[in-house]
Chains A and B, each alone.
Chain A
Amino acid sequence: MNEKIRVLIAKPGLDGHDRGAKVVARALRDDGMEVIYTGLRQTPEMIAEAALQEDVDVVGLSILSGAHNALVPQVIADLRANGQTNVLVFLGGIIPEDDIQKLLDQGVYKVYGPGTDTGEVCKDIREALKEKAQA
């Protein structure tokens, strides 16, 4: 058996800054994960479709545009609609404090802001998946 953690890193919406997404993708790669990067300006539907085709364990979203309250719930809804109820969704970018709890309530596993230690992201993902596997 040769199982790898597969992660989709996606940028929904219209902002064109993907440096953060790439840094996280690289960090996850260096942690031994297989990271599928889909590029800029994805609709929630496109992201859910890519997640389905790639059978990922984790979807990481990067949003700097401020549209997270619209985009994130839609991504989660589309994932669920495709039958991917077990996928871990995390979010990074510029997310105001006030919005975080609401996003977590809607099914986001964690929200990471600027300056996050990428090692923390890797650790969180491994732990969360371990818990899910045991559950």
Chain B
Amino acid sequence: MTSALVDSLRKGNRLALSRILSQVENGSPEGLAALEELFLVTGSAQKIGITGPPGSGKSTLVNALARELRLREPDKKVAIIAVDPSSPFTGGAILGDRVRMLDLQDDKQIFIRSMASRGALGGLAEQTQALSQVFDAAGYSFILIETVGAGQSEVDVVDLAHTTIVVDTPGMGDDIQSIKAGILEIADILVINKSDRPGADQSASHLRNMVEMGYAKRSHAGKHSLQDFSEKAAEELSSEDWIPPVLKTVASDYEGISELVDSILAHAACLHQSGKWRVKDQAAIRATIRHQLIAGLLKDFKKNVPTEQVEALVAAAQDRSISPNEAVRRLLAYNRSNILESSE
């Protein structure tokens, strides 16, 4: 059964869209029902993740990107989901990303939604994926997802983005930083923003080296010098391989944005051509099911095992009369026996 609100959303009513986003974000029964229905018509939007450390200019970059995407593709709508952290103490949040997106306010084909992380730790909120699906179903072709300011391991965004952009600024660390595992590895496009500042070329060259090391290993280890890598790579790797470009931007002045949009569109084309679009989509759905399954199992567990039981075993472990591992084993056993009872 289709609700009136879902109907309005499908007809392009933005207030209905906004309400459904809230319902989905809050996990209300109406929200879940709407999402179940809307999910079936998703799959056409390009989801673009933008991540990087706090203050690297993600919001400003998103502002410039959205404007450029609208100029390039005037018939397509752009959604922005901007995630900021919730306070771990009060659960409150200041969502300030809109302050950097003032250029976009007059364009009714751009919809900006701020989101608090509500305790999630991977750089996104629990429901960010779900909100992106609502936008997808509402006919938004580009969905820009800005993570909270990320450090080294907040990499959840790759689970849902087709294209992941990692933003850094000049002088954010030496070449050792750039070969560590984590956030830099997930980039489909690397951006040095604020590149009018000193050290931009050096930072860009560190990042290029990192990219090259990865690809040199994968194709023809160490055969070519770093200078001619790009040309060689273009020849030797098939057109289906994507080598993350390193781009320099000054988002506040719209410098380098056109090239960035070129890369985003080229990346989408490459994904389609290589069949990786489908692979990513399938992986995203698998990740969603995994997340929801874990959440559901936890909820079941809480229903099956009374708090007193949990507390008693926690206390036993705190007294060192059993190990934490033993406590967990007993809790899981208790949970299983209750499942069996209830199914009999």
Seen from chain A, the residues whose Cβ lies within 8 Å of a Cβ on chain B are 1-4, 6, 25-26, 28-39, 46, 49-50, 52-55, 82-84
For B99, the chain A residues whose CB sits under 8 A away are 37-39
Tell me whether B114 and A2 are in contact (CB under 8 A). Answer: no
Tell me whether B95 and A53 are in contact (CB under 8 A). Answer: no
| B182 beta carbon closer than 8 Å to chain A | no
Tell me whether A50 and B116 are in contact (CB under 8 A). Answer: no
| B153 beta carbon closer than 8 Å to chain A | no
Cβ < 8 Å to A, chain B residues 78-102 = 86-87, 90-96, 98-99, 102
Tell me whether B105 and A46 are in contact (CB under 8 A). Answer: yes
Question: Can you list 25 pairs linking A and B with CB atoms under 8 Å apart?
Answer: A1-B26, A3-B26, A4-B116, A25-B94, A26-B94, A28-B92, A29-B92, A29-B94, A30-B87, A31-B90, A33-B92, A34-B86, A34-B95, A34-B116, A35-B92, A36-B98, A36-B114, A37-B95, A37-B99, A38-B99, A39-B98, A46-B102, A53-B113, A54-B113, A55-B21
Tell me whether B102 and A39 are in contact (CB under 8 A). Answer: yes
Query: With A38-B98, A38-B99 in contact, is A55–B90 under 8 Å at CB?
Result: no
Tell me whether A55 and B22 are in contact (CB under 8 A). Answer: yes
Q: How far is the CA of A89 from the CA of B148 in the complex (A)?
A: 29
Query: With A2-B27, A26-B94, A29-B90 in contact, is A53–B14 under 8 Å at CB?
Result: yes
- The chain B residue with its CB closest to the CB of A38 is B98
| B111 beta carbon closer than 8 Å to chain A | yes
CB distance from A32 to the nearest CB of B (A): 5
Q: How far is the CA of A49 from the CA of B38 in the complex (A)?
A: 24
Query: With A1-B27, A46-B105, A83-B15 in contact, is A35–B95 under 8 Å at CB?
Result: yes
Query: With A37-B98, A50-B98 in contact, is A2–B118 under 8 Å at CB?
Result: yes
Question: Out of B27, B28, B90, B96, which one reaches A32, CB within 8 Å?
Answer: B90
| B335 beta carbon closer than 8 Å to chain A | no
For B18, the chain A residues whose CB sits under 8 A away are 52-55
| B220 beta carbon closer than 8 Å to chain A | no
| B19 beta carbon closer than 8 Å to chain A | yes
For A25, the chain B residues whose CB sits under 8 A away are 94
For B112, the chain A residues whose CB sits under 8 A away are 50, 53
CB distance from B82 to the nearest CB of A (A): 10
7 closest pairs, A vs B, by CB?
A: A29-B92, A39-B99, A55-B18, A55-B22, A36-B95, A32-B92, A32-B91
Over the window 282-309 of chain B, the binary record of Cβ atoms lying under 8 Å from chain A Cβ atoms (1 yes, 0 no) is 0000000000000000000000000000
For A1, the chain B residues whose CB sits under 8 A away are 26-28
For A54, the chain B residues whose CB sits under 8 A away are 18, 113-114
Over the window 3-17 of chain B, the binary record of Cβ atoms lying under 8 Å from chain A Cβ atoms (1 yes, 0 no) is 000000000001100
- Which of B15, B98, B118 has most A Cβ within 10 Å? B98
For A52, the chain B residues whose CB sits under 8 A away are 14-15, 18
For A35, the chain B residues whose CB sits under 8 A away are 92-95
